[in-house]
Amino acid sequence: MERRTIGAAALEVGAIGLGCMPMSWAYSTSEQNGEESVRTVHAALDRGMTLLDTADMYGPFTNELLIGRVLKERRHDAFVSTKCGLLVGEQHIVANGRPSYVKRACDASLRRLQTDFIDLYQLHRVDPEVPVEETWGAMSELVAAGKVRALGFCAVGARADHRKSKTPGASGIHATTIRQLERVQGVFPVSGVQAELAVWSREALESLLPWCVSHGVGFMAAMPLGNGYLSGTLTTGGGFEGDDVRARHPRFTAEMMAANQPVVAGLRRIAERHDDATPAQVALAWLLAQGRQVIPLPGTKKERLLAENGRAAELALTPADMAELGALPAARGSWE
């Protein structure tokens, strides 16, 4: 597979990574299968999809334990990205950016992952009670200690942060994130930024991706398949199990899933122009075409879907395809 670079640290990874969250968090518990997930991670590494994206909060903790089973055998084949900064309680998820906590969290992640170092350690969410420079400074000390190779910044919650912002005239949903990035960049170089980017959610193209390009920072595209919707395989109005996060979000009501069908229809039209292509592969190929800074992180726990996602790197979209994809409507229904 084509190789791309994670920012300031110049670390190479496969052009398409693997989002490991669905293996043990957020989606239907009844569909989780640890042995199949382990096989899927091995298959990803075999295909050159070397970036494995996880977090301590996924489970919590069980996702890192699962990835650790693979790393114990194949550490040198993998690029491990995990995150700290969010704590999962019985009813709430809260941010914790205290330096002492960050250091304890890293040590715990290393034990679960069965490794001596983390390739990319990401701040999952900024703690509003702790200056972000202090959190980032503690993370940089982990690099100096040899426990971490590079640092990343997760901006998946940018929509929610924007709505809470009291800054007058803030332009775009990523304005707060960019200000935070500028602050931490003065403490220690940012190597990667992870944020939502997909054919139906293109806000990151306005300012966040350009910031990454201008600073030589890698961009990891979260939710590149719209939490499964852009694959065209979800049944409109079919419902989700109660423990599936999509059951509680406006974008996945029967009404909004029906309203967003023109996006899937557009992906299907373009897929039909290319032999054996699928809507999911078109959506991923569109992301790869946004520049060499971009590394999509499609999440799956199934080997079959992993193989389909990996083949998207071989799909060459035409200028006409790109123009048509760029004209597709944005998603109806908010995610956060």
Edge-to-edge order in the sheet of strand 148-154: 18-19, 51-53, 79-84, 118-123, 148-154, 192-196, 218-222, 294-296
Q: Which residues of 157-170 are buried (b: 16+ CB within 10 A; e: fewer)?
A: bbbebbeeeeeeee
Cα(121)–Cα(117) distance, rounded to whole angstroms? Answer: 10
Q: How far out from the chain centre does Cα 223 lie?
A: 6
Q: Which residue reads 């990574």 in tokens?
A: 17
Write the DSSP symbol of residue 198: B
Active-site annotation holder among 27, 58, 121, 229: 58
Q: What is the DSSP string of 201-216?
A: B-GGGTTHHHHHHHHT
- State the angle between helix axes of 34-46 and 303-310 in degrees (0 to 180), rounded to the nearest 10: 20
> Among this protein's residues, is 58 annotated catalytic?
yes
Question: 11-14 and 3-6 as β-strands: parallel, antiparallel, unpaired?
Answer: antiparallel
**74 alpha carbon, distance to own chain's centre:** 22
Contact 154, 123 (CB under 8 A): yes
- Measured CA distances, 212 to 7, 13, 85, 196 (Å): 8, 17, 22, 14
Q: How many angstroms separate the CA atoms of 175 and 178, rounded?
A: 5
Sign of CA dihedral 284, 313, 280, 222: negative
Query: Torsion over CA of 157, 41, 64 and 100, rounded to 10 degrees?
Result: -60
Instruction: Report the catalytic residues.
Output: 58
